[in-house]
Structure 1
Amino acid sequence: MQNKFIHFLKEWIIPIATAAIVVVLVRTFLFTLAHVNGPSMMPNLQNKELVILSKISSYQRGDVIVFDARDEDPRIKSGEKDYVKRIIGIPGDTVSYKNSNLYVNGKLVNQDYIGIDERTQGTEMSFGSSWSLKTLSSTDMWQKKDRNHETVPQGEYFVMGDHRSVSNDGRYFGFIDKNHITGKVIVPFWNTDNTAKQNINHQNKHFFEN
């Protein structure tokens, strides 16, 4: 009887338990799956789309990330938590916009991943045809901790959605803390949209115009 029990442990319980532990460790520290919630990253990410979330990647300009918005957006609605946005500015960067062009540290940003309407009206919205971190952060829309900055502070990021005409992003509430980032979004291999893969997975490689 005892031998049968030991055999049962070796054949079933131990492998299943080991597999479960591995899954938990991978999902906690390495990768997990996530669903996009909302239209703020269209046309590159669709509402309810299943993506991979990497928890071991470094964060660069052009990367798309998921972050816990509860401590970032003072206007967050009940039930919301995670936002999906694109990193535009990293610590030390200046960010400005003028007449459909976006600039980081005075260099023209490549915005081929969105259409002209989002580059112009979508980006201007309530902020006019010319704005910068300095002008955005001088308003009382931003959290007090983020106000009156000309550059992105250390440990913080400035983010925007691709569907800027509907995106509630850094223009409205300020910078996001690196500690609140859950991970970097990767469009998985099973997605057949190669344009979306390029615009999400590889935009950091050609963030600026040549």
Structure 2
Amino acid sequence: MKKKYSTLFTVLQFAMILMFALFLRMFVLTPVEVVGISMEPTYHESDRLWQSSLVSPKRFDIATFPSPRDGKRIVKRIVGMPGDTLRMENDQLYINDKKYDEPYLAEFKKALTDGMPLTTDFTLENSAAGPARVVPDGKYFVLGDNRRKADDSRYFGFVDEEDIVGIVYFRYYPLNKIGVQ
């Protein structure tokens, strides 16, 4: 009788461990691979990241979601939150008419030698998100960090909140860049 309960207890323990591991894999340690150059210099082709779907998106978080073009998971920076107005003037981001620094682009901007801005001027109205003047409820405006090469909300419009798969919080490859993001 004791052996029967011991075996049952072991099976229950194993099931609990398995369920916990699946929970971690699905919601906390979900791996993502960067494809393309749209997030350079922050992330490069084949960087490996972990994301969590348990975190609510905040401004300047890096989110993953299916591309409106082909459904493949892509990585972009959330710039516009619901209710925001956005514009870019002379390579300066304005959110709700307030200047915002983008320190993650400073090194990239400094390396430009052609005299052209990293980000061309835009407003919500003259982007693919137009004719909206503000980011609607339940939607986000995203930009790639490599603004000259990024396919982002300027070209495909807003991203629905329910389409956001997760928020990136850790890079685990390449090993020389490992760390919390």
* Paired residue type of 2:119: T
* Paired residue type of 1:81: K
Which of 17, 20, 26 is the equivalent residue of 2:15?
17
Corresponding position of 1:98: 89
Which of 109, 118, 123 is the equivalent residue of 1:122?
118
In the alignment, the residues of structure 2 paired with residue 95 and residue 109 of structure 1 have an alpha-carbon distance, to the nearest angstrom, of 11
Deviation at 1:188, TM superposition (A): 4.4
Corresponding position of 1:208: none
CA offsets 1:159-203 (integer angstroms, 9 cap, x no match): 000111211100101100000000100124785548x85xxx3xx
Corresponding position of 1:158: 141
Corresponding position of 1:86: 77
In the alignment, the residues of structure 2 paired with residue 88 and residue 173 of structure 1 have an alpha-carbon distance, to the nearest angstrom, of 15
* Paired residue type of 1:106: D
Deviation at 1:123, TM superposition (A): 1.5
Corresponding position of 1:149: 132
Which of 59, 62, 73 is the equivalent residue of 1:61?
59
In the alignment, the residues of structure 1 paired with residue 168 and residue 33 of structure 2 have an alpha-carbon distance, to the nearest angstrom, of 10
In percent, how many aligned pairs have the same letter? 31
Corresponding position of 2:49: 51
Which of 152, 163, 171 is the equivalent residue of 1:180?
163
Q: Does 1:168 align with 2:151?
A: yes
Instruction: Indicate the SS of the match to 1:102.
Output: strand
Are 1:31 and 1:55, in contact at CA under 8 Å, matched by a contact in 2? no
In the alignment, the residues of structure 2 paired with residue 33 and residue 5 of structure 1 have an alpha-carbon distance, to the nearest angstrom, of 39
Are 2:50 and 2:172, in contact at CA under 8 Å, matched by a contact in 1? no
**Which 5+ residue runs of structure 2 have no aligned equivalent?**
none
Residues 97-106 or 182-191, more deviating: 182-191
In the alignment, the residues of structure 1 paired with residue 89 and residue 79 of structure 2 have an alpha-carbon distance, to the nearest angstrom, of 15
Q: Greater helix percent: which structure?
A: 1
**Which 5+ residue runs of structure 1 have no aligned equivalent?**
125-129, 137-141, 202-210
